[in-house]
């Protein structure tokens, strides 16, 4: 058992929105590992990061991702930093992984990017750019397809992902 499609990419790129649309189009369930973490921990990711630090959060995230990869057959969205873990990247090998990409100018326009995100607390534009420069190669290394989100509606991104994965015709 493994997901039909796994979505990866930075925070704020639209993995949750596109994931739900993809699941609808494919007639499968949708799951988000960030939602799994919040449900299991009984607190927000921001609270976990502030209370316990990033390394503790990453351990929790790794467990949630590994459980979801083993137990979900639909569309799965991973948190933005999930691909930092080498074991997680190894588990993604051979799966249909879509990297949703965007540039910093697009990122700062996104409504969700101004939500409480501890990793972007000071100078969001600069920190987002630094995170992307540090992690882009990890996203690209595991991706079956890269879909740019800039200038596209969620429906347009969904269609582009389906076409890129050869799950639907253009």
Look up the CATH superfamily of 5-164. Answer: P-loop containing nucleotide triphosphate hydrolases (3.40.50.300)
Among 119, 113, 62, residue whose Cα is nearest residue 85: 62
Confidence check: pLDDT of 82 > 70:
yes
pTM: 0.86
Confidence check: pLDDT of 122 > 60:
no
Confidence check: pLDDT of 113 > 70:
no
What is the chain written as a DSSP string? ---SEEEE--TTS-HHHHHHHHHHHHT--EEEHHHHHHHHHTS-HHHHHHHH-HHHHHHHHHHHHHHHHHH--SEEE--TTGGGSHHHHHHHTTS-EEEEE--HHHHHH-GGGGS--GGGSS-HHHHHHHHHHHHHHHHHHH-SEEEE-TT--HHHHHHHHHHHTTSS--
For the chain, percent of residues with pLDDT exceeding 70: 81
The pLDDT value given to residue 111:
47
The pLDDT value given to residue 128:
59
Confidence check: pLDDT of 120 > 60:
no
Mean pLDDT of the 5-19 span: 92
- Specify the higher pLDDT residue, 123 or 2: 2
Burial class, 169, CB count within 10 angstroms (exposed 0-12 / middle 13-18 / buried 19+): exposed
Question: pLDDT-derived band of residue 166, with 50, 70 and 90 as boundaries?
Answer: confident
CB-CB neighbours of 85 under 10 Å: 17
| Distances 102 to 38, 43, 136, 137 between C-alpha atoms, Å | 26, 29, 10, 14
Least confident interval from 79-88, 98-107, 137-146: 98-107
For the chain, percent of residues with pLDDT exceeding 90: 65
- For residue 38 the two structure tokens come to 């919040």
Confidence check: pLDDT of 149 > 50:
yes
Mean pLDDT of the 15-43 span: 96
Question: In this structure, what is the dihedral angle of CA atoms 89, 92, 96, 99, given to the nearest 10 degrees?
Answer: -20
The pLDDT value given to residue 135:
78
């Amino acid at each position: 058992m493994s997901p039909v499609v796994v979505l990866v990419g930075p925070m704020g790129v639209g993995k949750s929105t596109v994931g739900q649309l993809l699941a609808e189009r494919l007639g499968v369930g949708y799951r988000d590992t960030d939602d799994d973490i919040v449900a299991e921990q009984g607190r927000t990711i921001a609270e976990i990061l502030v209370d316990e630090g990033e390394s503790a959060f990453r351990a929790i995230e790794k467990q949630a991702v590994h459980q979801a990869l083993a137990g979900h057959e639909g569309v799965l969205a991973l948190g933005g930093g999930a691909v930092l873990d080498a074991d997680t990247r190894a588990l993604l090998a051979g799966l249909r992984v879509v990297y949703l990409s965007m540039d910093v100018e697009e990122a700062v326009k996104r409504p969700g990017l101004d939500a409480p995100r501890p990793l972007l607390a000071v100078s969001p534009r600069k920190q987002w750019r630094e995170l992307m420069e540090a992690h882009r190669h990890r996203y690209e290394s595991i991706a079956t397809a890269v879909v740019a989100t800039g200038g596209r509606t969620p429906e347009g991104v969904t269609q582009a992902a389906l076409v890129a994965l050869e799950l639907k015709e253009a």
